[in-house]
Each structure stands twice: as structure tokens, then as C-alpha cells.
Amino acid sequence: MPQSQPLVAEPEGEAAEAPMTRAERRDQQVMRILDAAKSCFVRSGFQGASMHQICAELGMSPGALYRYFPSKEAIIEAITEADRSHEAEMFAAMGENPDVVDGFVKAAIAHLRYIHESGNAPLFAEIRAESMRNEAIQLTCHQSMGEVQTSFRTYFEAAMRRGEIDPCVELETILPVMMAIGEGLAINDLPAQGVSLDRVEALMRVTVEAMLRPKRKLYETT
């Protein structure tokens, strides 16, 4: 009689997955810390939340946490850095749009949708408030906002050279105004208040069109 072949069980679930590398385990732990820190910052505020609170949220010893982050400021810097990957995707999509107004508006709405769906609006407000009194966080915020503003400037200047837009005033004024409007929209999280992002997009489109393609210059003499 032919001998039967031994049955080999197929790996299932986690056993079928390749083991994580040390770098992957570290990245996973960092994300756990950032998520726990976000919860603490939103619940207690940056001033009220302590590294010990974050440890309790994680079930991690202080010594272990400090191996990853030496301070709350370092955690905020990491949270900001993590969001830059989303911003990079947003800018890439914006740059591929042949219509500069449409590209800017869609990128802005995508960012507002991300802030809403991720639940980051309260955290964004807390970080912004803390930046008013904490120089380290202020530096992180200014660096991040500066990079965003530089991307917008490059985008608009290229459109101006192509003759696609003729802003109502100089970009040195338009860009900070746009950034302030965007920051206010992000902090207020209008979808959470029942305001449709479709409505926000329609209003934003009219506003940006008026800024970048005005019927007459704001300071034009008659």
C-alpha cells in the first residue's frame, strides 16, 4: 500500500504573517505613544497632561516612555511630523491639478475632512493655544505652517507666471490670510457642527476665486 503523506497545516492568522522587524516594532510602539498622548492632551490639556498620565494611558513605565520621547514637546513634534505625510499627499494632488483654484480648494477641503475624520480638531486647537506660551511648541508650529505656506506660494507663483491668476493683492498678504482662514476652519471642525463640507467647499471656491482672479485689483485706482 502506498504510504500516506503527512498533512501539513496551513498557517493561519497572525502565524502566517512574517515577524515584525525591530524597526517595525519601534514604529508600532511610537504610534501607540502618540495616540495615548493625543487622548491625554485633549482630555487634560497640554499643561494638565503629564508624562506619568501618558504612561498610565499606555500601561508603560516612565523609563520605557523616556527612551522614546524625552518630553511632551518632543511628542508634539512627532505628532506634527506624522501629519506631514498627509500634507505631502495633499500637496502632490494639488500640484497635479491643471486649475490652480480648483487644486487649492480641493486640497484644503481634503485637509479639513482629514482633521474631522481623524478627530484631531480638539488636539489642533490645544497645540495652537499652547504655542502661544511655549517657545518649543511655537517653533514646531511655525516650522510646520511655514512649510505649508511655502508650498502654496510656489504653487501660486507658478500659476501667476503662466497668466492663470492675477491676485487682488500681493501674495505676502493673501497667504497669511488664507492660512488664518484655514486654521480657523480646522479648529472649529464645522462638519461636527452639522455644516456640510460641500457647502464649505462652494463658499471657499467663491472666496479663493475672488482673491486669485478678481474682476478688479483691491488697490486699483479709479
- Per-residue model confidence as pLDDT tens digits over 11-49: 555 455 667 888 888 889 999 999 999 999 988 988 889
The answer to whether 138 and 132 have CB atoms below 8 angstroms apart is yes
Q: How many residues does the chain have?
A: 222
Mean of the per-residue pLDDT values of the chain: 86
- Determine how many CB atoms are found less than 10 A away from the CB of residue 141: 21
Q: In the chain, where does the domain assigned CATH 1.10.10.60 lie? A: 18-70
pTM here is 0.78
Task: Give residue 128's identity as a one-letter amino acid code.
Answer: R
Q: Which CATH architecture has domain 18-70?
A: Orthogonal Bundle (1.10)
Q: In the chain, where does the domain assigned CATH 1.10.357.10 lie? A: 76-222
Q: Could you tell me if residue 208 is left (phi over 0), alpha (psi between -120 and 50 degrees) or otherwise beta?
A: alpha
CATH superfamily of 76-222: Tetracycline Repressor, domain 2 (1.10.357.10)
